[in-house]
Structure formats: structure tokens, C-alpha cells
Amino acid sequence: MSNGFDVTAVEQRARTAGYQDGLLELFAAIVLLSIALMWIASPAFVGIVAAFIVLFGWRAVERVKERVTYPRIGYFQERPEAPDSTARGMLTFLAISFGLMVGAVALSGDIGDAAEWRRAAPVMSGISLAGGFWYTATRSGFLRHRLISGYSVITGVLLWLIGTGQSYEGVVWHLLGLAAPLAAIGTWGLIHFLRTHPLHDGVIDG
């Protein structure tokens, strides 16, 4: 009789536990809201602000996890994935997203019209963000991340269909439309996590 156990299954359960606190969704909502507001205020600085928030904001999330999450469920260090493989996957998905946006513009019959490119921008936004959430779903195992991924695609396509292309308002609405449910899901997740994972005796909160 074998005494072996499934290491992959153990890692998946530990990984899933680390995603249940709702902090990922709250962080994503803050990032998307910040990008949307910056897009409205000064589109030229959107990339800089987004990079700053993503690079340094996650450190703040990790600090919160150290004070709230890890004392309740313990700390789990994931095995890092191969950087080359991850980078190829991201670039491939972005290329597919861009190709589908080009296809959406081509359907209009006027590829040279800048308004059609602005109108189709939510398609690329929707599919690109969907890829990120789908990848997260493969790590977390949560249905909610797959649903968010599908929601991102559907809203991106709908905003393309009803958009005018006069500006990038479709992208802004797409970001805001994702930030709202993410904030709600993250808040519920955090409250539920705190209620179902009280601190053990002798552990000081924060």
C-alpha cells in the first residue's frame, strides 16, 4: 500500500486558500478605477500610472496579507513559473487580443477611420483583462474568476457594438464596469474570510 500523496493537489489547496481573502479583487478594482480616472484626466500618463500602481501597489497588498491573511491560514510560497513561458503566454494573448480588435475594425469596412479604432478598443481591453482573470482562475480554482473573465469579454464586445468612437469612453466604461463588481466581490470575500477564519488563541491581529 502506497503512502504517497498528490503534491499538486496539496499545492492547489494551499494556493486556493491564499486567494480567498478577496484582496486580489480589491487590488484589481483599485488599479482599474485608477486607470479609468487617469484616462479621463490625462490619457498621456495612463501607462506610467498603471505601471506604478501595479509595481508598488502589490507591496501594499502583501503588507495587508502579512497582517490579516497569513496569521489566520499560514504562509504559502508558490513555486515560481518559468519566466520565458509566462512572458510568451502574455505576449501571445495580447497579440490575439489585438488581432481580434483589428478584426472588429475590419468589420466596419473602414480600417483608415480612427473613430472605428477607438470604438473597437474595448474589444482589446475586454479580452486582454479576461486573459488575466482566466489565468488567475487556473491558479485559484475559483469559479468567480472565470465568471469575471467572461464578463470582461461580454462587456468589451457590447461597448464596441454600442460605441460611437468619438473618444475612448468605451474603454473607460469597461474599466469602471469591471472595477465595480470586483470591489463588491473583494469586499464580500474579505468580510467572509475574517468571519470564517478567526485568529487562533495567542495570535495578535495586526
Torsion, Cα of 80, 85, 86, 91 (10° steps): 170
Minimum mean pLDDT among 4-8, 42-46, 108-112, 138-142: which range?
4-8
Instruction: Confirm whether 201 is domain-assigned.
Output: no
| 206/193 Cα distance (integer angstroms) | 15
Which pTM was predicted? Answer: 0.81
Q: Please tell me the predicted confidence (pLDDT) of residue 1.
A: 46
Domain range spanning residue 19?
A: 10-196
Instruction: Confirm whether 2 is domain-assigned.
Output: no
**Burial class of residue 74 (count of CB atoms within 10 Å of its CB; 0-12, 13-18, 19+):** exposed
Q: Please tell me the predicted confidence (pLDDT) of residue 77.
A: 65
Instruction: Confirm whether 190 is domain-assigned.
Output: yes
Q: Please tell me the predicted confidence (pLDDT) of residue 150.
A: 96
Q: Which residue has the higher pLDDT, 102 or 205?
A: 102
Instruction: Confirm whether 129 is domain-assigned.
Output: yes
Q: Is the pLDDT of residue 142 over 50?
A: yes
Q: Provide the phi-psi class of 167: left if phi over 0, else alpha when psi is between -120 and 50, else beta.
A: beta
| Residue 34 CB contacts under 8 Å (≥ 6 apart), including other chains | 49, 50, 53
- How many domains is the chain built from? 1
Q: Which residue has the higher pLDDT, 113 or 81?
A: 113
Please answer whether residues 125 and 84 qualify as being in contact, where contact means their C-beta atoms are separated by less than 8 angstroms: no
Instruction: Confirm whether 204 is domain-assigned.
Output: no
